[in-house]
Amino acid sequence: MTRTRLATVWLDGCSGCHMSFLDIDEQLLVLADQIELVYSPLVDRKDFPEDVDVTLIEGAVSSEEDLEKIRRIRERTHILISLGDCAVTGNVPSLRNSIGAEPVLRRAYLDPTLLNPQIPNQVIPRLLPLVRPVHSVVKVDIYVPGCPPSANTILYVLTELLAGRTPDLNGKTRFGA
């Protein structure tokens, strides 16, 4: 049996969706027999691989790096899933959209109590002017709202996909769930 090539990605989110994924607990063992985890914050691999069957995206698109990543991921993924409210709506990261990126950077880096206050201009990716939900920059195939979606919801989505079905999330989760 060929295993389903699964990837999980962490963009601008709090990692809560990944935690909820791990909360599947012992069912992870059942999943483990059917999948190959090819890329994830839990896996030590730098480049996003080719030909991934399913990718779960946690987090909104907030920086130039996120944008570059998500475009490459889309090209290399068959079924792209927006997992959680940050990916689906922008959620908490997008709270800055009505004031712009500048005040956020100033608040974080130009605090006068810091020893050498300066806004970084290298190494740390530059913020986009607006935080965007994933589907506003690339095509998304399945939406799983929730903050975070429950472990059961995530398990349901993966189980359905592994069985070759499209998960029907009607009534199972919602914004803010």
Partner 1 sequence: MSRVVTLKINDQDVSGREDETILELARENGIFVPTLCHLEGLSDIGACRLCLIEIKGVPKLMPACVVRAQEGMEVYTESERLKKYRRMVIELLFVEGNHVCSVCVSNGHCELQYLAQKLGVDHIRLEYRSPKREVDASHERFVLDHNRCILCTRCVRVCGEVEGAHTWDLLGRGIQSRVITDLNQPWGDAESCTSCGKCVQVCPTGALTAKGKAVGEMTKHQGFLTTLALMRENDR
Interface residues with partner 1 (CB under 8 A) are 82, 85, 88-92, 94-95, 97-99, 130, 133, 135-136, 140, 143-145, 147, 169-171, 173-176
Q: Return the CA Rg of the chain.
A: 17
Nearer to partner 1, 38 or 70 (CB): 70
The distance of closest approach from Cβ of residue 49 to partner 1 in the complex, given in angstroms and rounded to an integer, is 27
Return the number of the residue (5 or 132) whose C-beta is nearest partner 1: 132
> Which is closer to partner 1, CB of 109 or CB of 143?
143
6 bridge partner residues: 37, 54
Cα distance between residue 42 and residue 55, in whole Å: 14
Q: Are 57 and 73 spatial neighbours (Cβ–Cβ below 8 Å)? A: yes
Nearest-approach distance from CB 173 to partner 1, in angstroms: 8
Q: Say whether 60 sits in a helix, a strand or coil.
A: strand
Task: Give whichever of 55 and 89 is closer to partner 1, judged by the CB atom.
Answer: 89
Judged by beta carbon, residue 39 or residue 91, the one nearer partner 1 is: 91
At closest approach, how far in Å is the CB of 4 from partner 1?
23
- The tokens for 59 are 């987090």
Would you give the distance in Å from CA 36 to the centre of its chain? 18
163 alpha carbon, distance to own chain's centre: 23
CB of 14 to partner 1, least distance (A): 10
What are the E-state strand segments in the chain?
4-10, 35-39, 52-58, 61-63, 77-83, 127-132, 142-144
Evaluate whether 158 touches 31 at the Cβ level (below 8 Å). Answer: yes
CB of 151 to partner 1, least distance (A): 17
